Structure 1
Amino acid sequence: EAFCDKKEGDCGFDKADWGPLQARVETYKGLIFANWDAQAPDLKTYLSDATPYMDVMLDRTEAGTEVITGMQKTVIPCNWKSAAEN
């Protein structure tokens, strides 16, 4: 595990190279999509043949679509490294 404990904060890399990523955000019929991959195709191209199926689902009424969500919680007995190791 890498750790920098120098008082100067010099960890051997240029901090400017490790800034936050900029997500590309696009919408389709009120749905919001975000993508971190700068090389990925635009949303319309990505959805491609799935668009008619989404239209059937999203255009059912003139009132639009309302998504009602809840919370689903699962407790898994494992340590913090489990996601990276499995």
Structure 2
Amino acid sequence: MPKKATFERGIKQLLILLGLLVFSPIVLSLGFKSLRIYTESPQIYISYLLLTIGGLLILFTVYFGFKTIKTFLDTLFEK
């Protein structure tokens, strides 16, 4: 891949990462707040679903962050 295409891909990944860094903690906190508020059967399942999605988003954000940093390092130290 040319250096410019790799750099552009890294910028796109960085923008997605910034969105994930904002969105994933919001989903997780909504899950915890809804778990505290709701005690009925159908609503508590939504709370657990939000907690699960938020936790998975946090894990994916960490993975995607390392992948984005690796893309930038590959672009920077390309021979």
Greater share of residues in helix:
2
- The TM-score, its normalising length taken from structure 1, stands at 0.21
Greater share of residues in strand:
1
Larger Cα Rg: Structure 1 or Structure 2?
1
- The TM-score, its normalising length taken from structure 2, stands at 0.23
Q: Which has the higher contact order (CA 8 A, sep 6+)?
A: 2
